């Protein structure tokens, strides 16, 4: 089963939060939406979750009881214990007695939250609270799982735990759409979607995004065209959308010391953002 938003446009007053965005989320896979503050990530996720209505386009999502959604806010009740939080949500989906006890024990164990079962959500660390939110989103075995920045602001070890939980959900057949501000996480997903100011800058499996990237990137201490250059460590990288005249290790016509680089995802996202800024008036 594949879920999707197609040609989706969402406006908030004069602001266009999503502009003709199409994203498909097949069962058994993780689709990661990456972008900065204001890129439209949350709006895209909320559109698929049915939390925001479209001005144009269509949504293909399962019925609500087959959908799990972790909002960017905590997703749990601070004054309830871990167990109470899970039981409350499970009750909404009709899970009870032995079935609930078994499911709760399994999820607590997988999320390494068993020792914290009796603790108030307010007393959990940020990473534990995100894991609790995840457990609550998945307790009813949803077919579509939507996670809004599950790993933002938490420590790297909890991030790895969360990625394992997300991967397990996909391995058991769920369609997972998650947002992140971290490119290394997007790289890890089967399919990544880069959003920039409400539009899809590029999407696909990382290998294909990289293979399809057109143009060349060079590095030097002084770039030739400042508006096409950005900082990487001690040097600057520069994008040549049409390619440099030729691409030996020192391209002719460029200052000495300029070398071609193999772009990573950070380079590709910056280059495509610059191409958009430098060619489309905003």
Partner 1 sequence: MTDTLLRATHVTRRFGAFTAVDDVSMQLQPGEVAGLLGANGAGKTTLIRMLLGLIAVTSGRVDLLGGPPDRERRRRLGYVPQGLGLYGDLTVRENLSFSARAYGTAVPALPSGLTEHADVLVRELPLGAQRQVAFLAALAHSPGVIVLDEPTSGVDALARAALWDTIRAQAERGAGVLVTTHYMQEAQQCDRLLLMSDGRLVAEGSEADIIGSTTAVAVRTADWARAFAALAAAGAPVMLAGRAIRVANADPAGLAEVLKAAGIQASLQPVPATISERMLMLSRPAKAS
Q: Give the Å distances, CA to CA, from 245 to 58, 86, 225, 258, 263.
A: 44, 60, 15, 13, 18
Site for partner 1 in 213-232 (CB under 8 A): 230-232
Only one of the segments 44-52, 80-88, 242-250, 270-278 lies at the binding site for partner 1 (rule: CB under 8 A); that segment is 270-278
Give Cα 32 to chain centroid, integer Å.
4
**Residue from the set 4, 189, 220, 244 that interacts with partner 1 by CB under 8 A:** 189
Judged by CB under 8 A, does residue 210 bind partner 1?
Answer: no
Distance in Å, CB of 65 to partner 1, minimum: 24
**Residue from the set 3, 69, 134, 206 that interacts with partner 1 by CB under 8 A:** 206
Judged by CB under 8 A, does residue 36 bind partner 1?
Answer: yes
The overall longest dimension of the chain from CA atoms, in Å, is 75
**Residue from the set 234, 248, 279, 282 that interacts with partner 1 by CB under 8 A:** 234
Distance in Å, CB of 248 to partner 1, minimum: 26
The pairing of strands 175-180 and 144-147 is parallel
**With 0-12 CB in 10 A as exposed, 13-18 as middle and 19+ as buried, what is 118?**
exposed
- For 161, the enclosing helix (H) or strand (E) is helix 156-171
- For residues 117 and 274, which CB has a smaller minimum distance to partner 1 in the complex? 274
Site for partner 1 in 89-118 (CB under 8 A): 110
How far is Cα 45 from Cα 177, in angstroms, rounded to an integer? 7
Task: Judge whether 203 and 31 are in contact, CB under 8 Å.
Answer: no
Judged by CB under 8 A, does residue 84 bind partner 1?
Answer: no
Return all residues near 255 (Cβ < 8 A) that are at least 6 apart.
220, 222, 224
Return the HEC string of 39-67. Answer: CCHHHHHHHHCCCCCCCEEEEECCCHHHE
**Residue from the set 87, 148, 196, 238 that interacts with partner 1 by CB under 8 A:** 196
Only one of the segments 6-14, 152-160, 212-220, 250-258 lies at the binding site for partner 1 (rule: CB under 8 A); that segment is 152-160
Total binding residues for partner 1 by CB under 8 A? Answer: 51
How far is Cα 213 from Cα 268, in angstroms, rounded to an integer? 7
Distance in Å, CB of 45 to partner 1, minimum: 16
Judged by CB under 8 A, does residue 274 bind partner 1?
Answer: yes
Binding interface with partner 1 (CB under 8 A): 28, 30, 35-39, 110, 125-127, 152-160, 163-164, 166-168, 170-173, 181-184, 188-190, 196, 205-207, 230-234, 266, 269-270, 273-274, 277
């Amino acid at each position: 089963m594949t879920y999707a938003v197609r040609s989706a446009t969402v406006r908030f007053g004069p602001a266009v939060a999503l502009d003709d965005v199409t994203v498909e989320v097949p069962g058994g896979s993780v689709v990661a939406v990456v972008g900065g503050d204001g890129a439209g990530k949350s709006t895209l996720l909320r559109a698929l979750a049915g939390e925001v209505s479209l001005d144009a386009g269509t949504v293909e999502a399962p019925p609500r009881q087959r959908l799990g959604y972790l909002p960017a806010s905590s997703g749990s009740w601070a004054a309830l214990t871990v167990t109470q939080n899970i039981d409350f949500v499970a009750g909404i989906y009709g899970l009870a007695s032995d079935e609930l006890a078994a499911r709760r024990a399994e999820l607590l164990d997988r999320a390494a939250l068993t020792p914290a079962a009796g603790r108030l959500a307010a007393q959990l660390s940020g990473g534990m609270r995100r894991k609790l939110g995840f457990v609550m989103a998945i307790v009813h075995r949803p077919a579509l799982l939507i996670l809004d920045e599950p790993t933002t602001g938490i420590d790297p070890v909890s991030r790895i735990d969360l990625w394992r939980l997300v991967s397990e959900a996909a391995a058991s057949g769920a369609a997972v759409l998650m947002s992140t501000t971290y490119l290394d996480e997007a790289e890890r997903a089967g399919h990544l979607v880069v959003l920039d100011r409400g539009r899809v800058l590029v999407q696909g499996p990382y290998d294909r995004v990289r293979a399809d990237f057109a143009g060349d990137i060079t590095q030097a201490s002084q770039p030739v065209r400042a508006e096409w250059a950005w900082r990487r460590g001690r040097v600057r990288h520069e994008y040549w959308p049409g390619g440099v005249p030729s691409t030996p290790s020192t391209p002719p016509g460029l200052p000495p010391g300029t070398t071609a680089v193999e772009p990573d995802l950070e380079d590709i996202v910056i280059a495509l953002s610059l191409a958009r800024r430098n060619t489309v008036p905003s």
